[in-house]
Structure 1
Amino acid sequence: MSRGKALRISVRFKDDVAIMSLSGKFLAGSDGPFLRQKVKDLTDAGTKKLILDFGGVPYIDSTGLGFLVGSLKTVEEARARLVLSSLNEHVKRILEGLRLSQFFLIAEDEAKALTQLNQEAKPAARPPKPAPPKAKKRPPRKAPQDVED
């Protein structure tokens, strides 16, 4: 699937993970809203695990950053997981410089992103619920004694 002149987008599935591969320069234009809608369509369809593969993206501008933040919000609202994979040094530096990298799961490549998503998806073992506290037995109340003056 392609949109605009600069950025190409393709979506494929590996088991229950949607992998959105991006290639080309991510510049201002219609790509951001289109991509944001594509992510929303995937989560609305029930996708709970999504990888954005930036392996073919040599450059990203503020539109691309807005897309990432908007996509993260969309994914979190759907209680889904998002991993960015295959970021080049330019894109990593921008994310780190703006302190956005702290909000995203980032993997070196697609295989590591898949591993990360599958590990994250496993429910953590919950400790057993504690037993309700036992009622303490109160000593019987003593009847008030009559006091004579």
Structure 2
Amino acid sequence: MKVVSRPEVKGPTGNCKACGSVTRSHILEKATYEEYEIVTSEEYEEYVDDFEEETGEEEIELRYRLLDRPTVMCHRCWVPFREAQCTHLEEHLEEWLEAPLEHTPKIKVFLARWKYHCFDEIADKGKDNVRSLRTAIKEAMLNVE
């Protein structure tokens, strides 16, 4: 069957990837569901046939089965982890901005981690530093001959 994510549904809770507590605070990866049609008995088939004759449409009832729980992080773990990432960025920012091409792998890993954990939700100095780092790496990549 078809595998879907359902953004309109709040989704189930998951275990925090850092401490293991049950939470839904910061969703890093959404839950995935398997979509399937419900078919039960002959009465249901007769109902569908009658519905088709009356409206000209086929009514299909879709159901969803949870395949993978979401990957989440509780707020107690997320806040200190974000602070640690901001500190790491402040320590290396000057060095990375001076020679972005030399540090491209480290910068890409850092930016991927920043995006994965949705750290842009809070507007502060860390977000501004990340923005300047992204700009510097883009400019360096464009100026490569």
TM superposition score normalised by structure 2: 0.27
TM superposition score normalised by structure 1: 0.27
- Pick the structure with more helix per residue: 2
Look at both structures and tell me which one has the larger radius of gyration over its CA atoms.
1
